[in-house]
Structures are given as C-alpha cells and as structure tokens.
Amino acid sequence: MKIMPWAPATPADAVSLATLFQQVEAVTPVGLEQRADEVMARLAALGPQLGPQTRVGRDGDGAVVAYGEVAEMGEVDGVLRIRLANVVHPDAPSDVRAESYDWLLGQAEQVRQARGTAQTAVLGTRCAENDHVVRDLLIRHGFELTRHERDLVLALSEPLPAEVLPPGLVVEPVDERYQELARLAHNEAYADSPSAIQPDQRTWPAHAIAHPRFLPDLSCLVLAEVDEGENPVAGFLFALADDDDENPNVVLHCLGSRVPWRRRGLATAMITRSLRRARSAGFAQVRLQVSDSNPRALALYGKLGFVGSGRGYLVLTRRLGPDDS
Ligand SMILES: CC(C)(COP(=O)(O)OP(=O)(O)OC[C@H]1O[C@@H](n2cnc3c(N)ncnc32)[C@H](O)[C@@H]1OP(=O)(O)O)[C@@H](O)C(=O)NCCC(=O)NCCS
C-alpha cells in the first residue's frame, strides 16, 4: 500500500475517514467515530481551518488510509492541552505511523508557539490496550503512560436496584433551559479530573446534547431546590447509542454529581433510571468507559455489577514546553 502525497482533511473526506476508522477500530479500538456524520462533527469541532490541524494520506485508489490530527483542547492551569490522533490503516507500511508522529509533534509545537514561546503544553494521545507496536512507538517519541481507560459492560438481564433520591431533589429530562447550568455543573464535577474535557459554550452541545447519537430519554439531570444564583443542577447523566447499527448498546457517556451532592445516591439513581429505561427500550447491554485513576467511579460501577470487556485503551502524554524546543 503506497500513500499518495498528504493533504489537509476536508468535510468531503468524512465518508472515507469513517471507513478507515471502522477498519482500525475493528483491530485496535480507541473509541474512534464510526459514522460519517460523527466524523463530520469531529472535523467541525476543530474549527474552520482544517489545514494546519489535519492531514490525510490516500492510497492509489483515493481511499483515505491515514489521518493525522492536532486538536487544541483548551487550557487548564495555564497549560495548553493538545490531542493528537494518528490513525493508520492496519495494512499501511510501518514507517507511515512513525513519520506521522513526527508530523504531529511538529504541528503541535507550532500550535504551542502560536500562543507564545513561554506557553507549556501537554500532548495526549490514545493507544489500544492490545496495540504494543504503537505503545512502544509512542514511548520512543517521548510519551509516558498516563492512564488506562477501561471498557465496562452490564447485561440488562440483571435485576436493578430501586431508584432512591434524597428529599428535595428531582430527576428531570435534559432540557434546553438548563443547557448552560448543566455545562457549569459538568465542568465543576470534572474539575479534579485532569484528563477530562472542560467544554466551553461553543463545544458543549457537541459533547453530548447535540451529539448525533444522543439518547434524551435515557439521559437526565438531578435538580435541587437552591437559593437564587446557585446552580440547581446537582447531577447529570448523558447517554448515547453506540455505533453498532444492528445491535445498538447504550453508552453511559458522561456522568457526574457536583461535590456538595456526592455520596447521597445521585449517580446510582441516575444510572438505575437509565438502565431501566434502556431495558424497556429493548437494549440488551450498557457500556461505559472509566479510567483506572478514578477509584470512586470504579467502586460505583462495580457495585452496580459492571464488568470489564477487554476493549480498553491507554492514554499517553508528553510535555511540550519552552525548554523542549
Ligand atoms: C463518581 C461519581 C459520579 C459518584 O457520584 P455519587 O453521586 O457520589 O455516587 P453515589 O452516591 O451514587 O455512590 C454510589 C457508590 O459509589 C461508590 N462511591 C462513590 N463515591 C465514592 C468515594 N468517594 N469513595 C469510594 N466509593 C465511592 C460507593 O460504592 C457508593 O456507595 P456507598 O455510598 O453506599 O458506599 C462522582 O464522584 C463524580 O461526579 N465524580 C467526578 C466525575 C466522574 O468521575 N464521573 C464518572 C466518569 S466515568
């Protein structure tokens, strides 16, 4: 397989990119989008200029067989976070992957320097837990293993506990009116999770509510009676359908309770509600991903009966700073 000259991705590549992502995901899953509309949303989230941030390599027939992406993910504590994606067809020559990492690192350095030469950045990328070749390659490129994202599943044939919320709290459907308050609650709940995305107002809808596979009936907010000016959103759960069109599963995509409301059964109640509705809607299985650095969530899911599927991935990071250029 020979790669033709590289070119920036365009929205017109979405179908070919989705095919590439499916081929890669079947062998080394890292959670890539599987449908053209999702790939389109991924490209749109990068902003109007795809040129410096993406490139595609095609085979002799014009099919996309390699994709590189450098995505700015916002700043946390003054450190710019940059996500790298290096997606290469399983049959592509092995040097394509290595050359792609060189390109990605060069582009990431340009993104960092555009913010000022003193800016520090952390690069993050994913590698399937079964992909030792890519893991070794990343380590040779200066990356370190940061966390292991586990994939957990629960069969909906299991009995479900009762949904019990403390007094003064109500479960509500996800509603336009609470869009901004839900975003603030999300960012507060995930504030101590260094790997979590902190969406801004522009990127928040695509995070869940406007996601093409969003499941509104299986998603919810927990609202509290609070004083004016306080955020009434105490907890949130956003569910998506997965990409298996024939036997779709529910994915518990994003879940949290704000700190003052923790350990009062909110997460358990939201998940149980979602599981019950998923079962009524005919879904057979629910899945989710959780980091091995999140013992609270691991305990929560373990208690509810979730077990590992073996399709997890590793996250590797590398610092990029003024001293490294
Ligand atoms: C994980 C999280 C959602 C739990 O929410 P919660 O509303 O406090 O959960 P619940 O009250 O329903 O807890 C249910 C069980 O989870 C486990 N659990 C929850 N928090 C725990 C903690 N701090 N330590 C140990 N176990 C914990 C316990 O088994 C608990 O049952 P118990 O209280 O009877 O012992 C919440 O801590 C959070 O929002 N964390 C940040 C965001 C996040 O990590 N989301 C999950 C991403 S995969």
Containing structural domain, residue 271: 159-304
Give me the pLDDT at residue 254, please. 96
Give me the pLDDT at residue 310, please. 81
pTM of the predicted model as reported, rounded to 2 decimal places = 0.79
Question: In total, how many domains does the chain have?
Answer: 2
In a domain, 2, yes or no: no
**Which 3 state secondary structure label does DSSP give 18?**
helix
Residues 174 and 276 occupy one common structural domain: yes
How does pLDDT run along the chain (325 residues), one tens digit per residue? Answer: 777 789 999 999 999 999 999 999 999 999 999 899 989 999 999 988 888 899 999 998 889 999 999 999 989 889 999 999 999 999 998 889 999 999 999 999 999 999 998 999 999 999 999 999 999 999 999 999 999 999 999 999 888 888 889 999 999 999 889 999 999 999 999 999 877 889 999 999 988 899 888 999 999 999 998 888 899 999 999 999 987 778 889 999 999 999 999 999 999 999 999 999 999 999 999 999 999 999 999 999 999 999 998 889 999 999 998 877 5
**How far is the centre of ligand 1, averaged over its atoms, from the C-alpha of 12 (Å)?**
43
In a domain, 6, yes or no: no
Give me the pLDDT at residue 304, please. 94
Question: Residue 153's closest CA among 23, 295, 278, 293?
Answer: 278
Q: What distance, in Å, lies between the first and last C-alpha atoms of the chain?
A: 34
In a domain, 40, yes or no: yes
Domain with residue 42: its CATH number is: 3.40.630.30
∠ Cα 116 120 124 (to 5°) = 125
Backbone φ and ψ of 305, nearest 5°: 100, 10
**How far is the centre of ligand 1, averaged over its atoms, from the C-alpha of 301 (Å)?**
9
Per DSSP, which regions of 77-168 are E strands? 79-88, 120-128, 144-155
What is the rounded CA–CA span in Å between residue 308 and residue 287? 9
In a domain, 1, yes or no: no
In a domain, 104, yes or no: yes
Task: Report the DSSP beta bridge partners of residue 214.
Answer: 240
Give me the pLDDT at residue 11, please. 94
Tell me which DSSP letter residue 214 carries.
B
Residues 95 and 219 occupy one common structural domain: no
In a domain, 5, yes or no: no
Residue 297 CB–ligand 1 contact under 6 Å: yes
Give me the pLDDT at residue 242, please. 87
**Which 3 state secondary structure label does DSSP give 226?**
coil
Pick the atom of ligand 1 nearest to 262's CA.
8
- For a substitution probing ligand 1, which of 296, 298, 301, 303 has the most ligand atoms within 8 Å of its CB? 296
Give me the pLDDT at residue 257, please. 98
